[in-house]
Amino acid sequence: MSTQIGARRPLPTRLPRLRPGGLLPIVAILAVLLVLVALRQPDFLAPPSLMSFLGRSAPIILLAAGQYFVIVSGEFDLSIGSLVTAQVVVAARLIDSDPSRTWPVVLLLLAFGAVVGLVNGLITTRLRVPSFITTLGMFLILVGAVYLWSDGAPKGGLSEDFRRFGRRAFEDVPVLGRVPYALLVLLVLATLAVVLMRADFGRTLIAVGDNPRTAELSGVRVWRTRTIAFILSGLAAAVAAILLGGYSGVSFQAGAGLEFGAITAVVLGGVVLGGGRGSVVGAMLGALTLELLFALMNFYGVSGALRSTVQGAIILLAVAVSATRQSSRQGER
Amino acid sequence: MRRSMAALAALTLLSLAGCATDDPVAGPDGTASAGAGSGTGEQSKFFVQADYDNELALLDATPTGPADRPWEQVLEPAMVDTATFRKAGPYKICFSNAALNNPWRQVGFKTMQAEVEAQQSKIKEFVHVDAEGRDQKQIADINDLLGRGCDALIVSPNTTATLTPAVEAACATGLPVIVFDRGVNTACPVTFINPIGGYGFGHVGAEFVSQRMKPGGKVLALRILPGVDVLETRWSAAKVAFDKAKVDVVGVEFTDGDPAKTKKIVDDYIQRYGTIDGVWMDAGAVAVAAVEAFQDAGQPVPPINGEDQLDFLKLWKEKNLTAIAPTYPTYQWRTPIIAALRILDGQQVSDPWKLPQPTIDQENLDSYLDPTMPPLHYAMCGCTDLPGYPQRWK
C-alpha cells in the first residue's frame, strides 16, 4: 500500500534534480562555500581541522536529520533546543562527576528524548493541537522545569567518560590525522536515517506529509507515522545533547537556538516546510552548509551576532520560494 | 492551507528567535563593543579615573578588622551613624536578589542563608525574593517587599541604572537599605558593601596576562554582558592595562557566562588567527571552557586569568597553566546580614564597606584547592565555619 503511494512521485533520495526537495541546489551552495573557504583559509581544508570541524558540526547535523522527519511529515518541532539544554543539565546533575553513572545516564537521556517526542507526537496527532503550538509549549515547559529544578544555574558535573563522545577522537589515524568520536556517531546514525527513509517507513512518512488525507484513505495510520517522526526527533536531540555536553561541559545554554539552526538547515537542504518534499541527506547537507557558512563568516571577521540574522533570512527566503512554487504547481493542476 | 501554515510557522520561528537566546541577562549576542582587530575601542562610560586610582591603591591597603574573618574586615573605613535605625529585635530581614542564575550567586546565597541560620537568635524571619535576572521583576519585588513589614532591606541589584529609582524609593520609606555586590547610582542606602571591585579585578588579570605574553601579542578578551558596573569596571581597567602594554586585543566578545558559547568563540578565534597569545576574562566561570578550546585544538594554553572556582583551580594545578585568579569573594554574601544586624542595633558601619579581595597565584594555589568540594564551588566562600558546611554547598 505504502509503496504504491511512494511510487506516485519519484522519491527525492533517488537522483538529484532541480526541483523542490532536490539535492542539486544544496550541493552547489556547499561547493561554492568550500571554494570561498579554500581561498580565504586553505588550512581549514587540511584533514585535521576539517575532521574537527565535522566533529563539531555532528550535533547540528543530527538535529537537522531529526527535524527532517518531523518537517517532511508536515509538522514542526520547536522543542529540540530546550530539550538539549534540559538533557545536558539533567546529565550533569545525575552523573555528578561519577564515571560509573555514565552509561545508565546515557540510556536515561535517550529514553527522556523518546518520551518527550512521544508526548509531542500524541498531543499533536491525537489532541489535534498544531505542532508549533505543541512544541512551543514543550519548549516553555522544559525551560521552566529546568530552571525550577536547578534554581537557574547548573549543578554537578559530567564525567570524563561522558564527555569523551563530544570531545575526544581517535588520534594518529593515517591521512586523516584524528577522527572525532562524534563524527563516527554521526556517520552511523546518518546511515540509519538514510536506510529508514528508503524503507517503507520513509515512503509512508513522505506520503503523510504530502497529503495526509490521501494517505489516511489509503490505509496509512497518519497519527502513528507522525508520532514516530517526533520520537525520532527527540532521540536525535538526546544524541546531540550527549555530543554537545561532551564538547562544552555543563551549560545552561547548550541548546539555545538550536531549533532554528536545525529548521534553517532543513529548509536550506531543500525540504519544503509543510511536508512531503525533500530528502534526509539534503537536510543533513543543509546543516553542514550552514555550519560552513558560519565558519566562513568567522574567517571574514563577521560578527557572530549576525548568525541569527542569516538564519532568519534563509528561513524567509526558503518559505517564499516554496510558497511561490507551490502556487504555480497548484495552477498547473 | 499549507501556505498559511508555512507562513505562520515562519512567523513563530522568527518571534521565537528572540527568546531562544533569551537568557536572564539580556545582552548583545556577539561582539559589537569593538570589532575584531580594532583594538580596545572607546573607554566605557562607567570608567571613573578617581575610582580607578582609588581601587588600585586599595589593592595594597591593609584592612581593619579580624584577619581570620575577611567578610568583617573593612578597607579604609568611613563610619556612618545609624542611631536613627535602632530597633529592638528579633528582626525581619528582607532580601531582593538579582538572580541565582550562576554558580557564583548560588554559592553566595547558600553562604548568606547559613549566616542567617548562624544568627537565628536575632532574626525572626528572612524573606528572599529572586528577580531571576530581570530588572522589571526586581523593581516589582522591591516595591512588594516595602509593604511586608521588613525591618531592613538588602538589595543585590540586577543592573545599575535601571534599579536606581527602585532603591531610592525604598530609601524614601525610611527603611535601612543595604546594597551589595553590584551598585546603584545613588548614595541613599545606609551602606554599599562590596570587595575592592571591578577595577582591581580587571587590572590584576590584565597585568598578569600582558606581562606573561610576548610583546604585541594577540589577546582575546571575554566578557559576560554589558551594562553591569562591576563587569564594566573590570573591562575598563583591563583596557587601560592592555593599551599601556601595547598588546593587540584582537577581540572583545560577550559570552553570557556560558561555557558552550565561550568554547565556540575561543575556537573561532583560534581558527581565524592561528594562535592567541593571551586570554583575559571579566569572570572566571567559563575559564575552563576557554582552556579546553586550546587543548582540543592541540595548542598550548596561553596566559589566562580565571577566578576562585574549583574546576579552574584544579585544571590550573593539573596542567600547570600560566594563570592567575583575581577573586570577587563569595564571602561578601555574609556581610549584608552582619551589617543589617549592626545597623538595627544602632552600631556604626562603614559606607562604603570595602572588603579585601585576595588574589590566587601560583604560590598560594594549593591552599585554596579543596578536592572534596564540587567543581563549581568557589574557594573564597568564607563558609567553613558556618552551619551545614560542607553538605549545604555540595
Average pLDDT over residues B122-147: 94
**Highest mean pLDDT: which range of A5-9, A209-213, B330-334:** B330-334
Q: Say whether pLDDT at A153 is over 80.
A: no
- Interface membership of B288 toward A (CB under 8 Å): yes
All residues of chain A having their beta carbon less than 8 Å from the beta carbon of residue B253 are 304
- Interface check for A183 against chain B (CB to CB < 8 A): the answer is no
Residues A69-97: what's their mean pLDDT? 94
Candidates B224, B379, B256, B389; CA nearest to B309 is: B379
Nearest chain B residue to A245 by CA distance is B260
Residue A327: which residues within 8 A CB-CB, separation 6 or more? B3
Residues 93-112 of B with CB under 8 A from A: 99-103, 105-106
Ramachandran assignment for B175, one of left (phi > 0), alpha (psi -120 to 50 degrees), beta (any other): beta
- pLDDT bin (cut points 50, 70, 90) of residue A233 is very high
The per-residue pLDDT for range B160-178, each reduced to its tens digit, is 889 999 999 999 999 999 9
Residues 6+ apart with CB under 8 A from B200: B55, B56, B58, B59, B237, B326, B357
Residue of A142, A250, A271 for testing the chain B interface, max B β-carbons within 10 Å: A250
Rounded to whole angstroms, the Cα distance separating B246 from B288 reads 27
Output the nine-digit C-alpha cell for A317: 527566503
Provide the CA A126 distance to its chain's centre, in angstroms: 24
pLDDT interval class at B38 (50, 70, 90): very low
* Contact with chain A for residue B26, Cβ under 8 A: no
Size of interface A-B (CB pairs under 8 A): 161
Largest CA distance in chain A: 63
Q: Mean per-residue pLDDT for B256-283?
A: 89
DSSP assignment of A292-324, as one string? HHHHHHHHTT--TTHHHHHHHHHHHHHHHHHHH
Which DSSP letter does residue B67 get?
Answer: T
Question: Could you give the ipTM of this predicted complex?
Answer: 0.77
H, E, C per residue of A223-244: HHHHHHHHHHHHHHHHHHHHHH
CA distance B166 to chain A (A): 24
- Tell me the pLDDT tens digit for each residue of B284-311: 889 999 999 999 888 999 999 999 999 9
Question: What CA–CA distance (Å, rounded) separates B129 from A137?
Answer: 26
Rounded-to-integer distance, Cα A195 and Cα A108, Å: 26
Around A258, how many Cα atoms within 13 Å sit in the side-chain half-sphere?
Answer: 33
pLDDT, average across residues B312-337? 96
pLDDT digits (tens, 9 = 90+) for B148-160: 999 999 999 998 8
Q: How far apart are CA A105 and CA B338, in angstroms?
A: 43
Q: Is A315 on the interface with B (CB under 8 A)?
A: yes
Q: Does A260 sit within 8 Å of B6, measured CB to CB?
A: no
- Assess A78–B contact: CB distance below 8 Å, yes or no: yes
Percent of chain A scoring above 70 in pLDDT: 90
Lowest mean pLDDT among A264-268, B371-375, B379-383: B371-375
Residue-wise DSSP of B120-158:
TTTEEEEEEEE-TT-HHHHHHHHHHHHTTT-SEEEEE-S
Distance separating the N- and C-terminal Cα atoms of chain A: 24
Strand partners, B193: B180, B353
Tens digit of pLDDT for each residue in A158-186? 999 999 999 998 888 888 888 999 999 99
Contact B17 A312 (CB under 8 A): yes
Lowest-confidence region among A28-37, A212-221, A320-329 = A320-329
* pLDDT tier at A27, thresholds 50, 70, 90: very high
- Among A247, A257, A315, select the one facing B21 at the smallest CB separation: A257
Going from the C-alpha of B299 to that of each of A42, A49, A56, B45, B290, the distances in angstroms are: 19, 13, 17, 36, 12
Residue of B nearest to A143 (CA): B20
- The CA distance from B360 to B287, in Å, is 14
pLDDT band at B268 (very low <50, low <70, confident <90, very high): confident
Closest CA to B23 of A311, A323, A256, A326: A256
Give bridge partners of residue B355 from the DSSP assignment.
B195
pLDDT value, residue A173: 86
pLDDT of residue A134: 96
Task: Establish whether the linkage from the previous residue to B28 is cis, with ω within 30° of 0.
Answer: no
Classify residue B50 as exposed, middle or buried by CB count within 10 Å of its CB (0-12, 13-18, 19+). Answer: exposed
Mean pLDDT of chain A: 88
Show residues of chain A in contact with B220, CB under 8 Å: none
Chain B positions in Cβ-Cβ contact with residue A273 (cut-off 8 Å): 5-6, 9-10
* pLDDT score at B23: 34
Instruction: Please check whether residue B297 touches A, CB under 8 A.
Output: yes
**Total-model pTM:** 0.81
